[in-house]
A and B are shown apart, each in its own frame.
Chain A
Amino acid sequence: MRPDSAVPTTVDTPGNTPDDRPLLDPPDGRAVMSQADVARALRRIAHEILERNKGADDLVVLGIPSRGVALADRLAGVMQSVEGRPVPVGALDVTMHRDDLRRQPTRQPRHTRIPAGGIDDKVVVLVDDVLYSGRTVRAALDALSDLGRPRAVRLAVLVDRGHRDLPIRADHVGKNLPTSGSERVQVRLTEHDGVADEVRISGGEGR
């Protein structure tokens, strides 16, 4: 085919189009929570959970992989230091219950770990890093009902960024973060990402 000289040759100008950049680094956008902010938020949430539950009786803390698991472990750690006894903690994978499996490449299921006492008649606190559409939480509620019948289920999240698709809300929120739909919220946790805890917000206009 003859190259059409009428076409400006800007079409395949090389350069860093935004899509070529790796997702997680280099850090872009602005930090909205520092390591100290994350620690303070988790301490407050742990106290709120204990206060609302009037102690640690029947509590089971379940993190949603991947970063929710690390957060659940930390919350349980704080609660243990307050109450002086261990709080059962585990992980609840929701991959097999997601409603968007057909829209995505296959995801690798993560490990579900339910503490020995089970969840029947317990107060289950689900923990995740970011609450957005609410679809992950819906999947988690379905996954829970396959495992037993908790007396109550509560939701704790580090960040609530709004834009819910479903009638779901969090009981305990580390930080309410108003965002636009085109922005992206990134949570990094030491256990998971190998860097200092941080919440960043990026994207927005021009994307």
Chain B
Amino acid sequence: MTTATTAVAPTPEAATRPRRRRHLLSSADLSLPEIREILDTAAEMHEVQRRDVKKLPTLRGRTVVNLFFEDSTRTRSSFEIAGKWLSADVINVSGKGSSTSKGESLRDTVLTVAAMGVDALVIRHGASGAAHQVSQWVDAHVVNAGDGMHEHPTQALLDAYTMERRLGSLEGRHVAIVGDLTHSRVVRSNLITLGRLGARVTLVAPPTLMPAGIGAWSQSDGFALSHDLDEVLPGVDVVMMLRVQRERMSGGFFPTPREYTVGYGLTRDRLRTLVAANPEAVICHPGPMNRGLEIAADAADAAQSLILEQVSAGVAVRMSVLYHLLAGSDERPGHDHEGGES
């Protein structure tokens, strides 16, 4: 009898090559080349937005579910438009109208939605780590659209994209992020992404709105901390104002809104200081804004403000993210498009 045929031929089709990224859960997952790919693709998607026909056939037949357990206008609608412009079918499920309000667990809700044959789940949830948890339950691609006070990777990508379009390379640029650092998921993602792109970041907040342990974190990740906005402002290239998150504050973080504005708001006077020191400086805000609280109307509507550009960039960046997660095969990366062979 021949028992010798059990020898297994080695597979030179190296299974060791990295598989395509399945999920976007944290900004920390993205290497610099991956960030570049996403931003470069976003630039192409941005051009499509200017056309009469904005739809691309790329994700035809794919289904994207927006699963939002927290309120959101721009992120949800921007993912919805992004999916639709790529011809995916997009379904919105909000926490309030869903069975979670009848007592269903997150796991059961997610498994139910996934069982319908969904290709991607875009999830926003109030618990830090929710997207990561969900990605372990389902086969679908998972995109973190904000998990508690943890991360919001697509926001950081669109912020970087918007800044680069106005300023060119972010290498060596100085970005000040001002406001509620404790409750913001935008900060962590931005610190990581901006850091990989070579920008220098200073976080500015009153002591009560700095998360515990941020001193050690700033040393390990190489960013600066300050409690004095007026000292930091002159000379920065970007000032990013964070929203004062009234819904996450049960009081005690600052005495009165008026006092917050005086110390940390981007007022008309500070706008003048900013522009006088650096006429190229720009203003960002992830939205939604509390006009008159963290940002004055004059600053929000100034020529230096990129706030609306951030929104339009949001669609382009999310198209790019959905494209990179969903468009290709799940096989290992192969050779580039070689000469010819059309």
Chain A interface residues toward B at CB < 8 A: 4, 6-7, 11-12, 17, 19-20, 23-24, 64, 66-67, 93, 96-97, 101-112, 128-137, 142, 146-147, 157, 159, 161, 184-188, 193
Contact = CB atoms under 8 A, between A and B. Distances in A.
In order of increasing CB-CB distance, the 8 nearest A-B pairs are: A130-B340, A106-B328, A136-B342, A105-B333, A6-B4, A187-B339, A96-B56, A186-B339
B329 A97 contact: no
Contacts of A24: 338-339
Given A106-B20, A109-B44, A186 B328 contact: no
Nearest to A7: B7
B250 interface: no
B329 A6 contact: no
B337 interface: yes
A103 B327 CA distance: 9
A111 B328 contact: no
B338 A12 contact: no
B340 A108 contact: no
Contact of B7 (A11, A96, A157): A11
Nearest to B55: A146
A129 B339 contact: yes
Contacts of A64: 342
A185 B341 contact: yes
B3 interface: yes
Nearest to B7: A7
B40 interface: yes
Contacts of A104: 328-329, 331, 334
B286 to A, nearest CB: 26
Nearest to B332: A105
A20 B328 contact: no
Interface residues of B, number: 36
B336 to A, nearest CB: 8
Nearest to A22: B335
Interface in B12-65: 12, 20, 37, 40-41, 44, 47, 51, 53, 55-58
Nearest to B327: A101
Contacts of B7: 4, 7, 11
Q: Which secondary structure dominates where chain B touches chain A? A: loop
Nearest to B12: A19
B247 to A, nearest CB: 37
Contacts of B51: 146-147
A102 B339 contact: no
Given A104-B334, A105-B333, A106-B323, 7 more contacts: A24-B338, A96-B57, A105-B329, A105-B331, A128-B342, A159-B340, A185-B341
Contacts of B340: 67, 129-130, 132, 159, 161, 185-187
Contacts of A66: 337
Contacts of B324: 106
A17 B58 CA distance: 36
Contacts of A157: 342
A107 B300 CA distance: 38
A112 B339 contact: no
B40 to A, nearest CB: 7
B219 interface: no
A19 to B, nearest CB: 6
| Residue of A23, A133, A146 ringed by the most chain B CB atoms within 10 A | A146
Nearest to A110: B44
B175 to A, nearest CB: 27
A101 B328 contact: yes
B9 interface: yes
Interface string B122-164: 0000000000000000000000000000000000000000000
Given A106-B324, A129-B342, A97 B57 contact: yes
B10 interface: yes
A179 to B, nearest CB: 11
Contact of B44 (A106, A111, A132, A133): A111
A135 B342 contact: yes
A188 B340 CA distance: 9
B6 interface: yes
B44 A93 contact: yes
A97 B58 contact: yes
Contacts of A184: 338, 341
Contacts of A135: 342
